[in-house]
């Protein structure tokens, strides 16, 4: 599968914004994009300002949300706990098969994890295992500000230890006028992580705005076009 898997240094760090910006920008170039996310939790507590992840990713690609995510849970919990509380038996192979089916006929796949890289989907199967099973290289969404160096380098180290290739880091949302610490964080992560560090400006949830923001990411260099 050609594409990338967007993980993050934490939950709520901007993975969906980065993934949706990639999906929208690639779709705007005429590519058929398959967004995939193994599981979405928190359907009981929707944010009135933002669509659910699979809804936004689907809208950005022009595909139905059910094609993006085969598994959803109501409580806003780690997937393994949401599944255990609901009594559902989660079969990792079925999640991978659903992603492969969604990717059929597509030019490029953009995945999104849930939470960070070591979040359990089941007690024996982490988001990192799912990324490995899809065979996609990683893009790490990270905050621009204080604390991001440690979180980002830990994520990169954990990815590489498992044999995942890291295409790059995206600091998000990147301000129009970054301060000295933010600029330093970008340089420091690039140097210590030996990785490209791109940035994503603030974008709304409209597909055109996401496409405009995503167009500034290094789509060619990351082999996505």
Active-site residues: which are they?
37
Q: Which is nearer to Mg ion, 12 or 30 (CB)?
A: 12
Main-chain dihedrals φ then ψ at residue 169, nearest 5 degrees: -115, 145
Element at 49 (helix H, strand E):
none
Quick one: which segment of 53-61, 63-71, 143-151, 208-216 binds Mg ion (CB under 5 A)? Answer: 53-61
Binding site for ligand ATP (CB under 6 A): 8, 11-17, 50, 53, 115, 172-173, 200, 202-203
Q: Which of 155, 154, 162 is nearest to 139 (CA)?
A: 155
12 interacts with, out of ligand ATP, Mg ion, none, CB within 5 to 8 A per kind: ligand ATP
178 interacts with, out of Mg ion, ligand ATP, none, CB within 5 to 8 A per kind: none
Residue 136 contacts residue 1 (beta carbons within 8 Å): yes
Q: Which is nearer to ligand ATP, 12 or 105 (CB)?
A: 12
- Min dist CB 17 to ligand ATP, Å, is 4
Residue 175 contacts residue 20 (beta carbons within 8 Å): no
Phi/psi region, residue 51 (left: phi>0; alpha: psi -120 to 50; beta: rest), is: beta
Q: Judge residue 28's burial from the number of C-beta atoms within 10 Å of its C-beta, 0-12 exposed, 13-18 middle, 19 or more buried.
A: middle
Q: Of 16, 27, 152, 199, which lies in the binding site for Mg ion, with binding defined by CB under 5 A?
A: 16
Q: Which is nearer to Mg ion, 17 or 189 (CB)?
A: 17
> Which residues contact Mg ion (rule: CB under 5 A)?
15-16, 53
């Amino acid at each position: 599968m050609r594409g990338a898997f967007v993980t993050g240094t934490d939950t709520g760090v901007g993975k969906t914004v980065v993934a949706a910006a990639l999906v929208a920008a690639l779709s705007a170039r005429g590519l058929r994009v398959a967004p995939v996310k193994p599981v979405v939790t928190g359907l009981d507590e929707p944010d009135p300002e933002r669509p659910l992840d699979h809804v936004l990713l689907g809208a950005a690609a022009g595909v139905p949300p059910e094609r993006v995510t085969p598994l959803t849970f109501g409580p806003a919990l780690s997937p393994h706990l949401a599944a255990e509380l609901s009594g559902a038996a989660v079969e990792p192979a079925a999640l991978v098969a659903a992603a492969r089916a969604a990717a059929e006929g597509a030019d490029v796949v953009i995945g999104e994890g849930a939470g960070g890289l070591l979040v359990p989907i089941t007690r024996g199967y982490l988001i990192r295992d799912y990324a490995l099973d899809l065979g996609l290289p990683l893009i790490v969404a990270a905050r621009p500000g204080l604390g991001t160096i440690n979180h980002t380098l830990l994520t990169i180290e954990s990815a590489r230890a498992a044999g995942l290739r890291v295409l790059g880091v995206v600091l998000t949302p990147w301000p129009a006028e970054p301060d000295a610490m933010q600029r330093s964080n970008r340089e420091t992560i690039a140097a210590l992580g030996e990785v490209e560090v791109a940035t994503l400006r603030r974008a709304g949830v409209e597909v055109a705005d996401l496409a405009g923001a995503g167009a500034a990411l290094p789509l060619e260099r990351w082999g996505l076009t």
